[in-house]
Structure 1
Amino acid sequence: MEHQTILQALFLGILEGLTEFIPVSSTGHLLLAGHFMGFKSTGKAFEILIQLGAILAILSVYFRKLWQMLIDLPRDRITQHFVVGIILAFLPAAFLGVLLHDFIETVLFESPRLICIMLVLGGIVLLVVDRMPIKARYHDVEIMPWLVYLGIGVFQCLSLIPGTSRSGATIVGAMLLGTDKRTAAEFSFFLAMPTMVGAFVYDLYANRNVLSASDVPIIAVGFVAAFIVALIVVHTLLDYVSKRGYALFGWWRLVVGGLGLAALAIWG
């Protein structure tokens, strides 16, 4: 394994951990970075498997909460309500993701220009929604109406287009449906767990025949980097958005998408 490839894997792992849970599209960033760095992984196996690092990061942060929910589930109505809500929010994107899997990975994932355009459009939407005088009606992720959970799940379907951002789609959807900014981000975390685990398992199965022992070192480096950085992000994001909102991430998307379009125009 060339040293340069290990460094590329380290960089991409850090990028995955940094962007997975903020509304800027981790997939879009990874695909663009890989395109301009010349980083190739068969069947996008590297990009798929390092997501496990980010998954484990959020599971570790919420482990006590999840364990308590498991204990309370048989008898506590609020916990039961919340679990049903997560399932309702999970199902729309899960259904479409399986139905359109091949098209997404072989067509949409191969279009850096589309990713850049979606980054820019998503940035504009995020800036507009962040400034809208929306009166928040829901301040607790566990007791929102089921139609709100389902509506957030419908918004999550937009994230099947690379560059849109799973967390961005769910956060914007949650805010438009009446949650405050912190609650929108927190529910995005909870929804990420089944969504990312489901996508990871499905993609791992689909790519089971293309992985080899030579892939292990770069995947391991990317996995560890994604885990450590995602852990830091999850610990700090809720307080940040409660105080400052999402404008920073909207501008981030505009800059990255704009620079990407310029680079594609110059270098292809």
Structure 2
Amino acid sequence: MSEVLISVILGIVEGLTEFLPVSSTGHLIIVNQFISFSEEFTKMFDVVIQLGAILSVIVYFWDKLSPFGRKSVLAKRRIINLWQKTIIGVIPALVIGALAADYIEELLFNPTTVAIALIVGGIVLILVDKDNKRGSINSIDMLDCKTAFIIGIIQCLAMIPGTSRSASTIIGAMFLGASRVVAAEFSFFLAIPTMVAASGYSLLKVGFNLTPNELKILGIGFGVSFIVALIVISVFMNYIKRKSFKVFGYYRIVLGSLVLGYFAYFK
């Protein structure tokens, strides 16, 4: 299989799964069991395509994220307040990530851990969504700094591959009273500093010594991830206004069970 095709496939996987509560890292670990680049380049590639997905969030939510332009003073204050809550929410991940990220990667980055985390996360997602009904926090403005910080603590569960950063933040937000839409939106916003920090750290570790061909492969993966993620965000936000998260919970359980079965009997 050509490197370009591998780049496209992995970019699609990242774009499809990064912001859905199904674990993009888990999917990439599983897919990398069958197709991948060299070990070192794969680590960098996975980081770069995550940045492509993050760019899609910034583009899609630009009006809610940017305090610049012709906006009222009140609108600008709301945006600044949103960024304050987002920064507060990312603090736990920065601290725990700095202390334990390398140990977690060494011990837990394997298909079995991913499969178990997918199944457990799927069950929890179904149960929390069932009890959520409508939620008492119906706008980002109603989300206070204390709640944002607690969601940030819960987000740290996503360091276990297969758990899903999106799922952990959505589950945490709904458990604390946020509606599905607010939980999903704050999950997107929280992803920006979280993933930029994690990606920056990973890129510093692996270095930037790249050949022209590797730069081309990275560019393709980045672009594909960005386009697919942008489409997924739009569809997802429209979907959860009318539907629940249960389908994602069932998907996680089925996929996790299949992965456990495959690696138990064929590996």
Superposed pair shares fold, TM > 0.5: yes
**Partner residue, 1:265:** 264
**Partner residue, 1:66:** 65
Which ranges of 4 or more aligned residues in structure 1 deviate by more than 6 Å? 69-75
**Partner residue, 1:42:** 40
Give the TM-score taking structure 2 as reference length: 0.91
CA distance in 2 between partners of 1:135 and 1:243 (Å): 11
Q: Secondary structure at the match of 2:66?
A: helix
2:20 paired with 1:33: no
CA distance in 2 between partners of 1:77 and 1:216 (Å): 40
CA distance in 2 between partners of 1:180 and 1:129 (Å): 11
CA distance in 1 between partners of 2:173 and 2:258 (Å): 29
CA distance in 2 between partners of 1:210 and 1:106 (Å): 23
CA distance in 2 between partners of 1:108 and 1:15 (Å): 21
CA RMSD of aligned residues (A): 2.2
Could you say if the C-alpha distance between residues 221 and 76 of structure 1 is closer, same or farther in structure 2, counting changes exceeding 3 Å? closer
Structure 1: gaps spanning 5 or more residues: none
CA distance in 2 between partners of 1:210 and 1:101 (Å): 23
Cα deviation, 1:165-204, whole Å, max 9, x if unaligned, reads: 0000000000000000111001111111111111111111
| Alpha-carbon contact 1:45-1:204 (below 8 Å) kept | yes
Could you say if the C-alpha distance between residues 212 and 154 of structure 1 is closer, same or farther in structure 2, counting changes exceeding 3 Å? same
Percent identical residues:
40
Could you say if the C-alpha distance between residues 131 and 74 of structure 1 is closer, same or farther in structure 2, counting changes exceeding 3 Å? closer
Q: How does 1:206-245 map to 2 (within 5 A)?
A: 206-208=205-207, 211-245=210-244
- The alpha carbon displacement at 1:76 in A equals 5.3
**Partner residue, 1:191:** 190
Could you say if the C-alpha distance between residues 258 and 210 of structure 1 is closer, same or farther in structure 2, counting changes exceeding 3 Å? farther
| Alpha-carbon contact 1:45-1:211 (below 8 Å) kept | no
User: Size of the alignment, in residue pairs?
Assistant: 265
After alignment, is 138-147 or 228-237 more displaced?
A: 138-147
| Alpha-carbon contact 1:86-1:149 (below 8 Å) kept | yes
Q: Secondary structure at the match of 1:100?
A: helix
- Residue 33 of structure 1 aligns to which amino acid in structure 2? V
- The alpha carbon displacement at 1:77 in A equals 4.6
**Partner residue, 1:156:** 155
CA distance in 2 between partners of 1:229 and 1:170 (Å): 22
